Structure 1
Amino acid sequence: MKKKISILFLVLFMPFFMQAQDLLDALRYSNIQVSGTARAGAMGNAFGALGGDFTSISINPAGLGVYRSSELTLTPKFTYGRMEANYMNTLMEDNKYNVALNNLSYVTVIPTASRSDVGLISVNLGIGYNRLKDFNSNSLMGASGVTSSFLDAWIENTNGENPYVDPTTYEFYDDLAIAEYGGTDLIYKEENSDIWKSDIQINPYDQNIENDPVAQRKSISRSGSIDEYNFAVGLNFNHKVYLGGTLGVTDIYYRESSTYEEWDDQNIIPNFESLQFDEYLRTTGTGYNFKFGIIYKPTNEIRLGASIHTPTFYDLHDFYHTEMYATINYTDGTQNQEALSPLSNFDYRLNTPLRATFSGAFVIAKKGLISVDYEYVDYSSAKLRNGDFSTANQEIKDAYKSVGNIRVGGELRATNNLSLRAGYEYYPTAYKSTAFGNDQFKADDKLNIYSAGLGYRFSSFTFDIAYRLTDIMEYELPYSSPVSGIYPVPEAAGFDGLTHDVMFTLGFKF
């Protein structure tokens, strides 16, 4: 029973470390890359000054006013993603396939009674769906000969060495203090000592003596998306000024499951053979936002656009669960132990940052166009609410910064019916260079997206296809890092991912 209590302690203590995830939750649901039709996708989604495509309603709703005829669109998307991890110079990779609906929309154009080119030309209404973000990925990291351990952070907290944790405030702490707890085999007190340690540690207080080396491996599977349902109105004045507004209703589904394994691959550690820690997180929720925009056409060739998005106000629900397994070698044989954490449910609110987009386009009639969007987002302004998030919100301010996202697209009219397209998107890291104060954790997380495609237009039917290549660079720690400076800090694994998307849009004009 003593040994099972020790493992249960580790499992029950895990919710503290999940609080550090609040910082990451805020970024995960604030950092989006709008996606919709294949035409916009092929052109880098640079539609803030162009309009006439339902994707633009999630960027600049004034684009709805550009429509001259009613339209129905449907866009499926096929995705293959590969993620390669470099953890302590050991390379591993994993992949994932996915099929999704990227866009479904309907726009109706209501001409005014005068049908002239003066004043209000038309009132356009739009309803539809665009995908804002995909979470689908699999990743795998691992290495051998590692002298830091998953258990280091647990020991740090049990010894009261983490300045951010008061162990006495946690349930079951009194039970942990009784003498019988010294019988544990994952973490324990040596005889006549008040210091907790593990068999992997030799002398944690002598930095010149490393832990016994272990092998480590972690697999992570993520799935889900952020989807937006838009209800929009656009106005066309004189074919020169376009105004628009959108109510966006967002839906989040995020699932993450991970398995961390640590084992004595060299058979040199007394008693300890292996441990496995499984985590499961599911987040669901809905939110809403408002968008307002304007497009101005000073000449037939030049278009200028600007839009502002309010924060998205989310109500979110987290379900969290962990499981711990350990294999311990005793003099009388090997025993397998396991413990399950209580099921954790938590409701909270998130306000994402306000966004502003400034756009410009140069259009050559019946020849082609080029378009550029600049999107400003201050990620440090994200706010967690409906609980005591003062510490987490301060961490958001300290870790994140404002960024400028860039989208560029071009289209060449090859024939009267065939158009060729290309685009590029750049989303820089939201992290400050001083984030986390840990030189080994170089927060990057930047995205480069390259795209190309073509479209063929009939009198009342359009077919568009796009290919998009997303180059992902990010870093992640394999487990919670000690902060006291007493214990070794794990190295961050560097991830280099490539995601291939193929999109088709069927459009019907009437």
Structure 2
Amino acid sequence: MRKLLYLLILGGLMPNLNAQGLSDALRYSQESVYGTARFNAMSGAFGALGGDLSGVALNPAGSAIFLYNYASATGALIDRQNDILYSNTFNQSSDIDAAISQAGAVWVFGNSSDEADWGKFTLAVNYELQNNFDNEVVSVGTNNVGIDQFFLNQANGIPLELLQLQGSETIPELYRFLGETEGSAAQTAFLGFQSFIIDPTENVPGNTTYFSNTGQGSFNQEHFKIERGYQGKYTFNMATAYKDRLYLGVNLNAHAIDYRSSTFLFESNNNAGATIDQIGFEENLWVLGNGFSAQIGAIAKVGDILRLGITYDTPTWLTLTEETTQFIETRRLLPDDSSIIEVVDPGIVNFFADYRMRTPGQVKASAALLFGQAGLISFDYGYKDYSNIEFTTNEPFFNMQNVLIANTFQASSSYRVGGEYRVNKWSFRGGYRFEESPFQDSNLIGDLTGYSVGLGYALDNVKIDLSYSTAQQERSEALYATGLTTPTNIDQQLDVYTLSLGFFF
């Protein structure tokens, strides 16, 4: 089990773990509503509308709605707030980040013959922010389970001689050797042993069982999880119009992922018989990825006011690579009532071979009512089966995880409603969205509910749009995949403020 992902996904097999490991597979399979301010203000209900570059990223037929060449860019301020309950202790944390949520352009090519059935052809390029990973979760509380249980679970079954330095061997050398031959669990066990958190039940070669030096009682814990990074989609679009009644389009998408996570646990205790009373444990993960997907879509005008849209998103085929580091520091109590700080810092970056996964495809149906220049109402429905997430790297362990995914996730429906009312050059917008939990057990991640409002102003060939959206979702996750599996319950609110500037050319 070389990858940290392996270790985390095993959490899905543990009772009350809240499937923290499965969140790694889920992370790259979901997308939020960012994009242009107009798109964001209407909660992304754009499948039957078109005429917006984020709408093109949703339904590729939407670029054929444009009458003229158009370009837009959007900046977003993303405010993520967490209400955290851990071990009966309440805490709050927040993170604010600025990002480019959209940038692109569309070129409209009209047919020179007014009698032609296929009267228009469009090309578009667009960047869309799918996910902003920036987040901070601080879990604070007093627990009757300590981090020592995590190290014990990693160590039991590993021969003692693998955790001991041999001859002139150094900590970095043995840590690297364990990663290359035994896997990440052995590396973690090595840290616990070398920092005196655990000791062997028998100090003899071949021993495979260990005990804790932190004693029994209560543990004061502060756990910090800091996430950074993004997931973006780069789209090349082609679309055409038939008799200004039927619009057809296709998107070819390149995906980019940059995800970083740092966790740090500080734990202290006053337990009787403990020889380790303080622990500081840090883990870092960096994931880089790229992928490909495609979309096909259609929009049909039915009568004067009704539009219908349909889109199929293929699965996204991703290639991911990981790097990890670990560090630990403990305070060891000596028999003469003094203490010593034990630091185990291998200084080794674990580089892992690429692995592949496939996120699920999606079908979206939409309808919109357009009331001339007065405004519109739009509705989108999406269906995505998260149980179809699959690791396509052909290794036995990944195959086991695919079975776990199929038995844990479920199909999820999403609903988006948006409206726009126009007065002269002003546009007033609002929206609502609801997304079902991707988990069969909705206690792991609950349903998502969101609202949005926005304002637009058109001045000659320039458009300025503002929006605000908020979404709320509850989830439960464990600090570690095994041993210390006390759940952290998080009620998260995501507020997004966007400003778009667009112009015709």
- Given the superposition, is the C-alpha separation of residues 470 and 176 from structure 1 closer, same or farther in structure 2, using an over 3 Å criterion? closer
Q: State whether structure 2 residue 496 is matched by structure 1 residue 456.
A: no
Report the alpha carbon displacement of residue 257 of structure 1 after superposing the two structures with TM. Answer: 0.7
Alignment equivalent of 2:439, drawn from 409, 431, 435: 431
Instruction: Give the match for residue 126 of structure 2.
Output: 128
Question: Structure 1 67/216 Cα, relative in aligned 2: closer, same or farther at 3 Å?
Answer: same
Change in Cα spacing, 1:79 to 1:24, as seen in structure 2 (3 Å) is: closer
Q: Distance in 1 between matches of 2:22 and 2:185?
A: 27
User: What's the counterpart of residue 119 of structure 1?
Assistant: 117
Partner of 2:139: 141
In structure 2, the residue matched to 1:170 is: 182
**1:353 corresponding residue in structure 2:** 360
Q: Which amino acid aligns with 2:182?
A: Y
Alignment of 1:219-368 (within 5 A): 219-264=224-269, 266=270, 268-332=272-336, 333-341=338-346, 342-346=348-352, 347-368=354-375
For the 8 Å contact 2:256–2:289, the answer to whether it is kept is: yes
Cα distance in 2, alignment partners of residues 38 and 87 from structure 1: 36
Match of 2:470 in 1: 469
**1:18 positional shift:** 4.1
SS in 1 for 2:244: coil
Are the equivalent residues in 2 in contact too, given 1:426–1:447 (CA < 8 A)? Answer: yes
Q: Is the 8 A contact 1:135 1:225 kept in 2?
A: yes
Give me the whole-angstrom Cα distance separating, in 1, the residues matched to 2:243 and 2:340. Answer: 80
Equivalent residue, structure 1, for 2:493: 498
Deviations 1:124-145 (A, max 9, x none): 110121111111111101102x
TM-score by length of 2: 0.86
Rounded to whole Å, the distance in 2 between the matches of 1:267 and 1:447 is 42
Q: Which residue of 2 aligns with 1:8?
A: none
* 2:416 aligned residue: 407
Residues 15 and 69 from structure 1, CA distance in 2 versus in 1: closer, same or farther, beyond 3 angstroms?
Answer: closer
2-structure distance, mates of 1:252, 1:425: 25
TM-score by length of 1: 0.85
Change (3 A) 1:120 1:184: closer
Measured in 1, the distance between the counterparts of 2:467 and 2:273 equals 54
For the structure 1 residues 142 and 175, does the alpha-carbon distance in structure 2 shift closer, same or farther, using more than 3 Å as the test? closer
1:153-190 CA distance string (max 9 Å, x none): 332343349xxxxx9x837999999xxx9998411245
Partner of residue 171, structure 2: none
Whether contact under 8 Å (2:47, 2:55) holds in the other structure is yes
The equivalent residue for 1:196 is 210
Q: Distance in 1 between matches of 2:103 and 2:43?
A: 19
Matched, 1:390 2:425: no
Cα distance in 1 for partners of 2:77, 2:39 equals 16
After TM superposition, give the deviation of residue 427 of structure 1 in Å: 2.2
Q: Which runs of 5+ in 1 are unaligned?
A: 1-11, 162-166, 202-210, 436-441, 483-488
- Residues 289-324 of structure 1 show CA distances to partners (whole Å, capped at 9, x for unaligned) of 110001111112111110101111111111111111
**CA distances 1:347-398 after superposition (whole Å, capped 9, x unpaired):** 1112111111111111111221111111111111111133511111111111
Shift of 1:46: 0.6
Cα–Cα, structure 1 residues 34 and 245, in superposed 2: closer, same or farther, change >3 Å? Answer: farther
Measure the CA separation in 1 of the matches of 2:91 and 2:497: 26
Q: Which residue in the other structure is 1:159 paired with?
A: 156
Q: CA deviation at 1:33?
A: 1.9
Q: 1:387 to 1:275 in 2, by over 3 A?
A: farther
Distance (whole Å) between structure 1 residues aligned to residue 273 and residue 392 of structure 2: 46
**Which position in structure 2 is the counterpart of 1:205?**
none
Tell me the residue number matched to 1:438. none
8 A contact 1:84–1:140 mirrored in 2: no
Contact 1:240 1:297 in 2 (8 A): yes
Contact 1:34 1:130 in 2 (8 A): no
d(CA) in 2 for partners of 1:237, 1:172? 58
CA 1:13–1:59 in structure 2 vs 1: closer, same or farther (change >3 Å)?
closer
SS of 2:299's equivalent in the other structure is: strand
Indicate conservation of the 8 Å contact 1:22/1:392, yes or no. Answer: no
The change in CA–CA distance for 1:290 and 1:171 in structure 2 (over 3 A counts) is closer
Question: Partner of 2:302: helix, strand, or coil?
Answer: coil
- Contact 1:232/1:246 (<8 A) preserved: yes
1:480 match: secondary structure: coil
Cα gap change, 1:319 to 1:183, in 2 (>3 Å): closer
Amino acid at match of 1:417: K
Distance across 2 between alignment mates of 1:319 and 1:131: 24
Alpha carbons of 1:175 and 1:93: their partners in 2 closer, same or farther (altered >3 Å)? closer
> Does the 8 Å contact 2:7/2:21 carry over to 1?
no
Deviations 1:2-35 (A, max 9, x none): xxxxxxxxxx997862453763322110111242
Give the number of aligned pairs.
464
Quote the offset at 1:459 in angstroms: 2.3
Structure 1 contact 373–407 (Cα < 8 Å) conserved: yes
| Partner SS for 2:31 | coil
Contact 2:221 2:266 in 1 (8 A): yes
Percent identity between matched residues is: 27
SS at match of 1:431: coil
Distance 2:187 2:245 in 1: 74
Return closer, same or farther for 1:395/1:504 CA change in 2, 3 Å cut-off.
same
Q: Partners of 2:49 and 2:79 in 1: how far apart?
A: 30
Mapped to 2, the partners of 1:175 and 1:17 lie a distance apart of 12
Asked if 1 retains the 8 angstrom alpha-carbon contact of 2:120 and 2:241, the reply is: yes
Q: Are 2:33 and 2:40, in contact at CA under 8 Å, matched by a contact in 1?
A: no
CA shift, 1:500, in A, is 2.0
CA–CA separation in structure 2 for the residues paired with 1:313 and 1:13: 19
Which runs of structure 2 are paired with 1:70-89 in the superposition (5 Å)? 70-89=69-88
Matches for 1:59-70 after TM superposition, within 5 Å: 59-70=58-69
Distance 1:463 1:241, change over 3 A: same
1:187 lines up with 2:187 in the alignment: no
Distance 1:239 1:131, change over 3 A: same
For the structure 1 residues 377 and 295, does the alpha-carbon distance in structure 2 shift closer, same or farther, using more than 3 Å as the test?
same
Inter-partner Cα distance in structure 1 for 2:139 and 2:186: 37
Quickly say closer, same or farther: Cα 1:493–1:175, change in 2 above 3 A.
Answer: closer
